[in-house]
Amino acid sequence: MKSFDGFKAVNNANLDVQKGEIIAVIGPNGAGKTTLFNLISGILKPDSGQVLFKGEDITGLSPHEVCRKRISRSFQVVNVFNRLTIFENTQISILSRERHTWNLFTPSSTLAVDETNELLKNVGLYEKKDSVSGSLSHGDRKVLEIAMALGGNPEFLILDEPTAGMSPEETTRCINLIQGLREKFGLTILFCEHDMEIVFGIASRIMVMVRGATIVQGTCEEVRCNEAVQDAYLGGSDVCLM
């Protein structure tokens, strides 16, 4: 549970994720999806409740400690190093994973270069690697977000609205990327999204949040025709979502 000045942003949310799954969290604006992600990734500390990862209690760890457990995330609002190039952005993430950030005297230009290039090729940003990230299009910056999260070599990847604000082509590219990640690296992915087409297209299970609470958790079919979900989303109409 997490409250801000008495407003309960996340209250009675529960979610369990199995290895290798793609889980979607959906819910109306202000349902507490991002707050939930912030609680998991350590940016916020819960007032009560627990976050377990592989059986280990990670509740209340700071973000860099959570990251060390091989949990990475991207942000809904683009959060990259604006004055650095795409290459540097990604490289720093890899260097951090390899615990090189206290190294004062080896030139960065000799470290993790191949791995950075490889990762950028995987996400399709290699051609633009020397552009300063602040000058890129919104879609490319969102992909860079994912690349930086991947630099930590995560087992568990949290994506907060990965396609928000993207053009249709960029969205397709991003979705293919996410699906490819699961297939290639066996990643477990948790994401939230407003576009139901994407949600039902790639999620193996869905969790629905309304006013900070989990109302349903289940497979796409279970969620699709659930009455509580229809109440929350469609004001009680009796059509199935999608």
Partner 1 sequence: MATGILNGKGRIWLIVALVALCLVPFALPRFYVYLLSIILLYGLFAMSNNFPLGFGGIYQLHHAVFYGVGAYGTALVITKSGLSPWLAFLVGPLVAAALSLVMGLICIRLSKLYFGMLQISLGSLVWAVVYRWYSFTGGDDGIHGISVPDIISSYQGAYYFTLVVTAVSLFILYRILKSPYGSTLQGIRDNPVRSAMIGVNVKRHQLLALIIAGFFAGVAGTLFVVVDNTVFPDMMFWTLSMEAVIMCLLGGWLTFLGPMLGAALIVLIRTFVSTYTVYWALVLGIIFMLVIFFLPNGVLGWIETLFKGKTKLVEAKE
Query: Closest distance between partner 1 and the C-beta of residue 154, in Å?
Result: 10
| Tally of CA atoms within 13 A in the half-sphere of 121 that contains its CB | 6
Select from 28-36, 44-52, 146-154, 161-169 the region that touches partner 1 (CB under 8 A): 146-154
Give whole-number Cα distances, 174 to 34, 50, 90, 168, in Å.
20, 31, 17, 10
Part of the chain binding partner 1 (CB under 8 A), chosen from 60-68, 160-168, 189-197, 224-232: 60-68
Size of the site for partner 1 (CB under 8 A): 40
Interaction between residue 239 and partner 1 (CB under 8 A): no
Tokens of residue 153, six digits: 């070599």
Say how far apart CA 129 and CA 136 lie, in whole Å: 11
Structure token pair of residue 154: 């995560």
By CB under 8 A, which span of 19-27, 75-83, 162-170, 214-222 interacts with partner 1?
Answer: 75-83
Residue 150 and residue 138 in contact, taking contact as beta carbons nearer than 8 Å: no
Half-sphere exposure at residue 60, Cβ-oriented, CA atoms within 13 angstroms: 7
The nearer residue to partner 1, 112 or 203, going by C-beta atoms, is 112
> Cβ(115)–Cβ(94) under 8 Å?
yes
Is residue 53 within the footprint of partner 1 (CB under 8 A)? no
CB of 159 closer than 8 Å to CB of 190: yes
Asked if residue 91 binds partner 1 (CB under 8 A), the reply is yes
Subset of 94-113 contacting partner 1 (CB under 8 A): 95-97, 100-109, 111
- Out of 10, 88, 146, 199, the only residue in the binding site for partner 1 (CB under 8 A) is 88
Interface of this chain with partner 1, residues 13 to 52, rule: CB under 8 A: 41, 43
Whole-angstrom distance, CA of residue 76 vs CA of residue 171: 14
Residues 6+ apart with CB under 8 A from 60: 42, 45, 46
Stretch that binds partner 1, among 84-92, 170-178, 201-209, 221-229 (CB under 8 A): 84-92
Contact residues for partner 1, defined by CB under 8 A: 41, 43, 62-64, 67-68, 72-73, 75, 79-85, 88-89, 91-93, 95-97, 100-109, 111, 148-149, 151-152
